[in-house]
Structure 1
């Protein structure tokens, strides 16, 4: 049973939006494109491994892409599988080329096109994840349960090497996920936790999820104002939108409808966060008038706080904050 679905993380959606709105001449465009490629490859690798989890019987409780807080810091795990005898951590690697795992200096080397680069140690990463999750479960749920980390290689074209066979003990191709898990479960004692107990743990994890926030503008040292404004087509991604009254359509692919506006508004909140000033949102959407912005906001079911020049738009209800209709 899937307790937390795998969805594209917000920070990747934001980076996609940045890449789409970067002019071709932007000096940071190659760096953004390279980072986006890495992020998408990682996400696709995680998704491709999910298929093999569906073969597990009895089915575990599944949490995809979970990020939890331990005190002052966070830890993230690609996939958590909770059985009544154990918890499995799956750290998914979607790497092409020759992957060499070394015990010396606790390092992984990746070679593609005769270029070798150092990667973070897979084993150190899952060891830390295990320690963090053990501490989190102990602190928040007061339960003792074996936690077994597995390193999953999701790219079937990668060639894996290691200094010793022991370094590959918990490293498996994605297609072997069911067999690796059955093998580990068979080695465990027969002690089991109740279905009610493990469900409560899984639901607490899902409720404790905290989304990763990445300031890409700070990371790449550029300004939001250097990006293209206006509405792009959610289908063909071209800035070819024409508008008549309250109707929008794309000249390039003929897509039409209010979904074009909703897509642009979603991009605005990804790039600028909650509470966007009316003037900033109107500029981002292509220089709309205040009157037209008001009509769009009502149709898009946005929430407003403040009056006149102090008006801000929100995509979420702000708890106890009073929602005021601005003129």
Structure 2
């Protein structure tokens, strides 16, 4: 069964927020648009895997998507983890077009499109590092060592994969993922852990999963917070800012009226600036004059509340940011 479902990453949400609120003339827009396109492509590739995994026996497998775990002072990320009583499988998903040549001598991936070649890090090295990290993570939490297999899949239907026999053992196109899992089932027939132990590991994985921090993205792209447009964006014409009056938002340009346009603005704030917000900060960012109106809006949302009265601050629940 799917224990942790696949969700759009906060990095994608944060980049979308930056583009929403960055002036059209800003010189960093093109770089951010390129990076967002790359992350979206990867996310679409990961979502394509869901279809194929829906065919496996949900009573035999626990499936976790987008795990980010800590080993000491460092984090490592797993696109998809499949746990069984006899083995674990780490899957790294790529969504790359063109002819992909896995070059073992220099450990690189070469992509050819329209007679142009481009080099990429070898994803096999990446997933082998994840394998080592996950082995250490299990050992750190005192679990019995179990076989940990790896698989790199490419979800782009028009791609061509080239490599030697060793490469083909660990790399395939997405339509062969079920075949690869069946091969592992035949190889590992002895239970290492029982169902109760697997469930215990699953609960710990969920507890230790740590979403990436997106609050440093503005710094990464050298964007000053003062460059970010504040206010509530009109959902119809994308104009800033909407005006709040009598429990509704109205666009000064197209006259669109909305009762919940503030939700997207608050999500943008949490993804770009801080994991908490006060009534004062809420009013400043959303351009609201009334303390009472701001308080009613904040308390109507599914936010965690800390403190009392003037000292109260609000933080997002995981569901609020999706």
TM-score (norm 2): 0.88
Q: Is the 8 A contact 1:249 1:260 kept in 2?
A: no
The residue that corresponds to 1:210 in the other structure is 210
Q: Is the 8 A contact 2:100 2:159 kept in 1?
A: yes
Q: State the 1:239 CA deviation.
A: 3.7
CA–CA distance in 2 between the matches of 1:236 and 1:40? 24
CA–CA distance in 1 between the matches of 2:285 and 2:132? 44
The residue that corresponds to 1:48 in the other structure is 48
Q: Is the 8 A contact 1:87 1:146 kept in 2?
A: yes
Secondary structure of 1:169's counterpart equals helix
1:94-109 correspondence runs (5 A): 94-109=95-110
Indicate yes or no: 2:258 matched with 1:256: yes
CA–CA distance in 2 between the matches of 1:187 and 1:219? 45
Q: State the 1:281 CA deviation.
A: 2.9
Report Cα offsets for 1:152-179 as digits up to 9, x if no partner.
Answer: 11111222222x2322221111121111
Q: State the 1:236 CA deviation.
A: 6.6
Q: State the 1:304 CA deviation.
A: 6.1
Q: State the 1:51 CA deviation.
A: 1.1
Distance 1:240 1:16, change over 3 A: same
Q: State the 1:305 CA deviation.
A: 4.8
Q: State the 1:113 CA deviation.
A: 4.2
Moved more, 138-147 or 271-280: 271-280
Moved more, 263-272 or 65-74: 263-272
Secondary structure of 2:16's counterpart equals helix
The residue that corresponds to 2:266 in the other structure is 265
Q: Is the 8 A contact 1:235 1:255 kept in 2?
A: no
CA–CA distance in 1 between the matches of 2:136 and 2:246? 57
Q: Is the 8 A contact 2:218 2:272 kept in 1?
A: no
Distance 1:304 1:208, change over 3 A: closer
Distance 1:127 1:263, change over 3 A: same
Q: CA RMSD in A?
A: 2.4
Q: Is the 8 A contact 1:274 1:313 kept in 2?
A: no
Q: State the 1:288 CA deviation.
A: 3.4
Q: State the 1:263 CA deviation.
A: 2.0
Distance 1:255 1:121, change over 3 A: farther
Indicate yes or no: 2:155 matched with 1:154: yes
CA–CA distance in 2 between the matches of 1:123 and 1:304? 45
Moved more, 38-47 or 188-197: 188-197
CA–CA distance in 2 between the matches of 1:160 and 1:237? 42
Gaps of 5+ in 2: 318-322
CA–CA distance in 2 between the matches of 1:273 and 1:229? 14
CA–CA distance in 2 between the matches of 1:253 and 1:45? 39
The residue that corresponds to 2:143 in the other structure is 142
Secondary structure of 2:13's counterpart equals helix
The residue that corresponds to 1:63 in the other structure is 64
Q: Is the 8 A contact 2:244 2:288 kept in 1?
A: no
Distance 1:146 1:238, change over 3 A: farther
Q: Is the 8 A contact 2:99 2:160 kept in 1?
A: yes
Distance 1:253 1:277, change over 3 A: same
Distance 1:281 1:225, change over 3 A: farther
Q: State the 1:56 CA deviation.
A: 0.8
Distance 1:193 1:295, change over 3 A: closer
The residue that corresponds to 1:197 in the other structure is 197
Count of aligned residue pairs for this structure pair? 313
Q: State the 1:75 CA deviation.
A: 0.6
1:183-194 correspondence runs (5 A): 183-194=183-194
CA–CA distance in 1 between the matches of 2:4 and 2:272? 25
The residue that corresponds to 2:126 in the other structure is 125
The residue that corresponds to 2:88 in the other structure is 87
Moved more, 92-101 or 277-286: 277-286
Q: Is the 8 A contact 1:16 1:36 kept in 2?
A: yes
Distance 1:312 1:11, change over 3 A: farther
